Chain A
Amino acid sequence: MTEYRFAAEELGFRFQQRVDDEQKVEPKDWMPEGYRKNLIRQISQHAHSEVIGEQPEGNWITRAPSLRRKAVLMAKVQDEAGHGLYLYSAAESLGISRSEMIEALQSGKAKYASIFNYPTQTWGDVGAIGWLVDGAAIVNQVSLQRTSYGPYSRAMIKICKEESFHQRQGYQAILALAKGSAEQKQMAQDSLNRFYWPALMMFGPHDTESAHSAQSMKWKIKRETNDDLRQKFIDQTVPQIEYLGLEHPDKEIRWNEERGHYDSGEINWDEFYKVINGDGYCNRQRIQHHIKAHEEGAWVRDAQLAYNAKKNKNN
């Protein structure tokens, strides 16, 4: 018994040393159970976010106002589904199956990004999502390119390449509105107002409130804190809003010479916790949509299995 415990401690020590030396952890390497669980939680929720994220933008595919924008949006949503696939694969390398993950999503055990519980009400929202939501995702994901788990880090590198392309296209779409007719400009401002704060919430709670942060930082799953990443995003977004000629939704935004950063107003954390706990605007709709598609597709998956079984028997 004592010997085993010594061995476990030794393994844990060596693991931390590897992490500290910036060596990537790979699927067959020993890892602490907590590390494995934490990663399964984070990567699968990241995957779910890509999949659920198809819905708010998918809501406008049939109504996109030009063929070019329609094609861009379709390509984007297609990429998101592909990102979901990468991430499910990365999570599977930790010993969980995709069907288990989907079950956790549908039962509410696993979460997805809070942002996708906000409704897309106008075409402007599609631009705002591309610009702000993908923008926030990229800030987060660029940081995760250096995450300690190899498959996750490689997935992030792949995803960021595609994502930044779509983010620029989202900004272009908002720019077209901001420089367009009075009504279009109003549409852009309205979308910015509604999506700005939810985009800030994507970085998660304050560092002082974040349950997983300290351990994740120590294991180098996370490389920068929620608040640091959020600050980066706030700083990069101010000049973008100025260039659009739109009003900043945060009335308290001020340049702080001393810090070299923008100071900003406080997020509505009550709203944040309401949304991540399932009581946001679209939570029920999003999950019901996912369950409906999954259930309606059951006969297709069954047929595929039956067909493959027949073919294997004949061979």
Chain B
Amino acid sequence: MSDNNELQNIITYASRLGDDSMVLGHRVSEWISYGPFLEEDIALGNVALDYIGRARMLYSYAAELMGDGKTEDDLAFMRSEREFQNYLINELPRGDFANTTIRQLLIDAFNLHYLTRLCDSRDQTLAAIAEKGLKETRYHLRRSRHWTLRLGDGTEESHLKMQQALDDLWGFTHELFEQDQLELELAEKGIAVNTKEFKQQWLNDVSEVLTEATLKLPEEEWAVRGGRQGYHTEHLGQMLSVMQSVHRAHPDCQW
């Protein structure tokens, strides 16, 4: 494959990872002022801010490689729903606190393995971003793990809500471990992460927490996929129309 093609692939890869962080960060930010108590308003805002920070680094890198004067903001605010390539689990509405907790547990545990591997990427910028993200992820995972235990093994009501959230979200975890040609090629070159390599470890980690939280791993095979191809749930379009509204109403402006 030509270098030009590889460059193009890295641009796509970096913006995909940027999309994951952007969309999830946006969803978590919707909790601000809605937390169950003040400490949680702060914690959720903190997590959301880490994700937006990560999205900015990844988008900026993609924009820099594109080299046509575009910026992080063009990637965030001027692309449509069909162009975003985040994993679907990130775009689902925040739901209740159980929903947010389970999603964070699944994603934080995923990110721990993912970013650990991305730290070894041959692409130095991606490796550096991963290193910063990994520190944040350790903190995120500690938090989502503790909340999963408290809520799973708290009251009967909280247990039921957590089990429901887990059942609803599980179908969106499969695509985290299914990668397309582009990512597999980059992985072979030591640039991207091959998620299959740590699927079992992730499953073990997650199962361990869920079991301790007295929750049951769903068994059904139901799976939804398509994020990396820009084939989204109906939630993303709504989210982007809010997120991009001001920027698109005043294009080419400085803020």
Whole-angstrom distance between the Cβ of A130 and the nearest chain B Cβ: 13
Q: Which interface residue of A55, A64, A299 has the most chain B CB atoms within 10 A?
A: A299
Q: Which residues of B contact A68 (CB under 8 A)?
A: 56, 255
A63 contacts B by Cβ under 8 Å = yes
Contacting pair A303 B29 (CB below 8 A)? no
Given A123-B246, A176-B254, A300-B97, are A62 and B38 also a contact pair (CB < 8 Å)?
Answer: no
CA distance A78 to B35 in the complex (A): 12
B253 contacts A by Cβ under 8 Å = yes
A75 contacts B by Cβ under 8 Å = yes
Given A74-B45, A293-B35, A300-B97, are A306 and B154 also a contact pair (CB < 8 Å)?
Answer: yes
Given A62-B26, A66-B73, A303-B157, are A54 and B245 also a contact pair (CB < 8 Å)?
Answer: no
Contacting pair A74 B48 (CB below 8 A)? yes
A158 contacts B by Cβ under 8 Å = no
How many chain B residues touch A (CB < 8 A): the figure is: 47
Given A54-B32, A297-B37, are A67 and B250 also a contact pair (CB < 8 Å)?
Answer: no
Contacting pair A62 B30 (CB below 8 A)? yes
B164 contacts A by Cβ under 8 Å = no
Given A66-B247, A74-B52, A85-B39, are A299 and B149 also a contact pair (CB < 8 Å)?
Answer: no
Contacting pair A75 B49 (CB below 8 A)? yes
Binary CB contact string for chain B from 35 to 59 against chain A (1 if under 8 A, 0 otherwise) = 1111111100110110011011001
Given A297-B35, A297-B36, A303-B154, are A65 and B247 also a contact pair (CB < 8 Å)?
Answer: yes
Contacting pair B33 A55 (CB below 8 A)? yes
B210 contacts A by Cβ under 8 Å = no
Whole-angstrom distance between the Cβ of A250 and the nearest chain B Cβ: 28
Contacting pair B154 A67 (CB below 8 A)? no
Interface residues of B in 172-203 (CB under 8 A from A): none
Q: Which residue of A lies closest to B75 (CB)?
A: A67
B96 contacts A by Cβ under 8 Å = yes
A180 contacts B by Cβ under 8 Å = yes
Q: Which interface residue of A67, A68, A289, A298 has the most chain B CB atoms within 10 A?
A: A67
Interface of A is mostly: helix
Interface residues of B in 63-78 (CB under 8 A from A): 72-73, 76-77
Contacting pair A78 B32 (CB below 8 A)? yes
Whole-angstrom distance between the Cβ of B108 and the nearest chain A Cβ: 18
Q: On chain A, which size bracket covers the interface?
A: 35 or more
CA distance A84 to B29 in the complex (A): 18
Contacting pair A77 B45 (CB below 8 A)? yes
Given A184-B250, A300-B151, A307-B154, are A54 and B33 also a contact pair (CB < 8 Å)?
Answer: yes
A296 contacts B by Cβ under 8 Å = yes
A100 contacts B by Cβ under 8 Å = no
Whole-angstrom distance between the Cβ of A74 and the nearest chain B Cβ: 5
A183 contacts B by Cβ under 8 Å = yes
Contacting pair B255 A69 (CB below 8 A)? yes
Q: Which residue of A lies closest to B52 (CB)?
A: A71
Contacting pair B158 A303 (CB below 8 A)? yes
Contacting pair B157 A299 (CB below 8 A)? yes
Q: Which residues of A contact B151 (CB under 8 A)?
A: 300, 303, 307
Whole-angstrom distance between the Cβ of A25 and the nearest chain B Cβ: 26
Contacting pair A296 B96 (CB below 8 A)? yes
Binary CB contact string for chain A from 274 to 303 against chain B (1 if under 8 A, 0 otherwise) = 000000000000000100111011111111
Q: Which residues of B contact A308 (CB under 8 A)?
A: 150
CA distance A310 to B159 in the complex (A): 14
Binary CB contact string for chain A from 42 to 61 against chain B (1 if under 8 A, 0 otherwise) = 00000000010011001001
Given A63-B243, A78-B42, are A296 and B36 also a contact pair (CB < 8 Å)?
Answer: yes
Q: Which residue of A lies closest to B27 (CB)?
A: A62
B1 contacts A by Cβ under 8 Å = no
Given A62-B29, A64-B246, A300-B151, are A78 and B157 also a contact pair (CB < 8 Å)?
Answer: no
Contacting pair B36 A300 (CB below 8 A)? yes
Given A67-B73, A300-B97, A304-B154, are A62 and B242 also a contact pair (CB < 8 Å)?
Answer: yes
Q: Which residue of B lies closest to A292 (CB)?
A: B34
Contacting pair B255 A63 (CB below 8 A)? no
Contacting pair B250 A293 (CB below 8 A)? no
Q: List 21 A-B contacts (CB under 8 A).
A: A54-B41, A55-B33, A61-B30, A63-B246, A67-B52, A67-B73, A69-B255, A71-B53, A74-B49, A77-B33, A78-B46, A85-B42, A181-B250, A293-B33, A300-B37, A302-B154, A302-B158, A304-B150, A306-B158, A307-B151, A307-B153
**What residues of chain B have their CB less than 8 Å away from a CB belonging to chain A?**
26, 29-30, 32-42, 45-46, 48-49, 52-53, 55-56, 59, 72-73, 76-77, 96-97, 149-151, 153-155, 157-158, 161, 242-243, 245-247, 250, 253-255
Q: Report, nearest first, the 6 A-B pairs whose CB atoms are least far apart.
A: A297-B36, A303-B154, A303-B158, A78-B45, A300-B36, A54-B33
Please name 11 further chain A to chain B contacts, defined as beta carbons within 8 Å, in addition to the given A67-B55, A303-B155, sorted by A numbering: A65-B255, A66-B73, A71-B49, A78-B32, A81-B42, A84-B38, A177-B255, A293-B34, A298-B36, A300-B158, A307-B149
